[in-house]
């Protein structure tokens, strides 16, 4: 025969469990709202960074021409085309209708830019004039996958 206090303990446990569950659900809602806001803010940060980087291709073309691998044809044209692409894709990120296309295009472009960053690292290790320090070149190369992941974050759900 059950003791008379057992149902009360069970009820207290159920109430505590329900309260903990409610707190968890509220924190999840808070997290989801904030992650959505964070994702939106970071979308505009990425867009701005790409627009500014694209403009910089025209402001300081020599910076980009120095890191262009010699096996790539027409380096000046490639510099300007990549600048136009960065500006265009940065603007496209800001619109839901073009956001996914822009994010995929940025990710692909960043993969293609690995050649430039590998060349930049080689130049720094060979101590070429105007080369970055090896630490900076390694850092820039290692940031590339993070930038790709950041762009791919916007291919899944429109913000």
Question: Residue 110: which of 75, 152, 59 has the closest Cα?
Answer: 152
Task: Tell me the pLDDT tens digit for each residue of 15-37.
Answer: 566 666 666 676 667 666 788 88
User: What is residue 2's DSSP assignment?
Assistant: -
What residues contact 22, with CB distance under 8 A and at least 6 apart?
none
| Rounded-to-integer distance, Cα 104 and Cα 113, Å | 14
- Whole-model pTM? 0.76
What average pLDDT does range 51-70 have in this prediction? Answer: 94
**138-141 own/partner pairs: CB under 8 Å, 24+ apart:** 141/114, 141/117
Q: How far apart are the first and last CA of the chain?
A: 59
Of 102, 94, 96, nearest to 157 by C-alpha is 96
Residue 89 has pLDDT above 70, yes or no: yes
Per-residue model confidence as pLDDT tens digits over 118-141: 998 998 888 877 678 889 889 999
- Return the closest-CA partner of residue 151 out of 82, 93, 98, 85: 93
Size (the chain), residues? 159
* Sequence ranges of the domains in the chain: 6-153
Query: Taking a C-beta distance cutoff of 8 angstroms, is the pair 148, 46 a contact?
Result: no
């Amino acid at each position: 025969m059950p003791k008379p206090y057992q149902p009360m303990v069970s009820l207290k446990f159920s109430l505590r469990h329900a309260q903990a569950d409610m707190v968890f659900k509220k924190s999840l809602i808070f997290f989801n709202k904030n992650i959505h806001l964070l994702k939106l803010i970071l979308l505009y940060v990425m867009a701005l960074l790409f627009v500014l980087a694209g403009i910089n291709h025209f402001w300081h073309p020599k910076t980009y021409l120095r890191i262009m691998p010699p096996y790539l044809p027409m380096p000046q044209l490639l510099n300007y085309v990549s600048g136009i692409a960065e500006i265009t894709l940065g603007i496209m990120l800001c619109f839901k209708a073009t956001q996914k296309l822009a994010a995929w295009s940025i990710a692909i472009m960043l993969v293609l830019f690995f050649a430039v960053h590998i060349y930049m690292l080689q130049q720094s290790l060979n101590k070429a004039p105007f080369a970055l320090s090896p630490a900076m070149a390694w850092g820039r190369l290692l940031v590339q996958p993070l930038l790709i992941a950041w762009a791919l974050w916007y291919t899944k759900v429109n913000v």
